């Protein structure tokens, strides 16, 4: 009888996973219809016809809003487990209520730090959405514009 070590089990799982993936992709390639049309070959831009190049100006405030969103999502990730543990009456009874007081103070400190961060971002004006005026580029390329027509 052959005995498989822990590394052998991991190797078998890796081989099985890769084999499953390859078989699934092969079955999909064999079964899917192959009817390309010019409409299917175009770039998808949220239902709109693509126009211009991809080098358009992008408002940097999108990134700031995304970072602030992630900050408050992280807050929720930490507050949900706290709420479930804080609501456990048996745990609070075992510690004579000290656990509840400690966790409540700790959570207020955590939320307070986040509110200080929010106040800082607000005071710096990072939450105000000001539309920037588009600026044209004065860059002169050495490549003629007709050369780009091949790539459209």
Q: Where are the domains of the chain?
A: 61-123
- Could you tell me what percent of the chain has a pLDDT over 70? 88
- What pTM does this model have? 0.43
**pLDDT per residue over 17-66, tens digit each?**
999 999 999 999 999 998 888 878 877 777 777 777 767 776 777 787 88
10-26: string of b/e by CB count within 10 Å (b at 16+)?
A: eeeeeeeeeeeeeeeee
Query: pLDDT at position 126, please?
Result: 74
Mean pLDDT of the 121-140 span: 74
What is the C-alpha separation between 30 and 34, in angstroms, rounded? 10
Mean pLDDT of the 105-113 span: 87
What is the C-alpha separation between 42 and 44, in angstroms, rounded? 6
Minimum mean pLDDT among 25-34, 73-82, 114-123: which range?
A: 73-82
């Amino acid at each position: 009888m052959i005995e498989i070590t822990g590394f052998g089990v991991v190797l078998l799982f890796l081989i099985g996973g890769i084999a499953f993936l390859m078989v699934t992709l092969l079955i999909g390639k064999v079964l899917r219809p192959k009817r390309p049309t010019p409409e299917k070959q175009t770039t998808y831009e949220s239902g709109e016809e693509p126009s211009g190049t991809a080098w358009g100006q992008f408002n940097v405030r999108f990134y700031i809003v995304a970072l602030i969103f992630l900050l408050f999502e992280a807050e929720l990730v930490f507050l949900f487990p706290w709420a479930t543990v804080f609501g456990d009456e048996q745990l609070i009874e075992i510690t004579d209520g000290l656990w509840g007081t400690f966790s409540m103070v700790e959570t207020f400190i955590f939320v307070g730090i986040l509110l200080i961060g929010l106040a800082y971002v607000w005071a710096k004006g990072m939450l105000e959405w000001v539309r920037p005026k588009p600026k044209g580029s004065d860059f002169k390329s050495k490549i003629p514009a007709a050369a780009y027509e091949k790539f459209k």
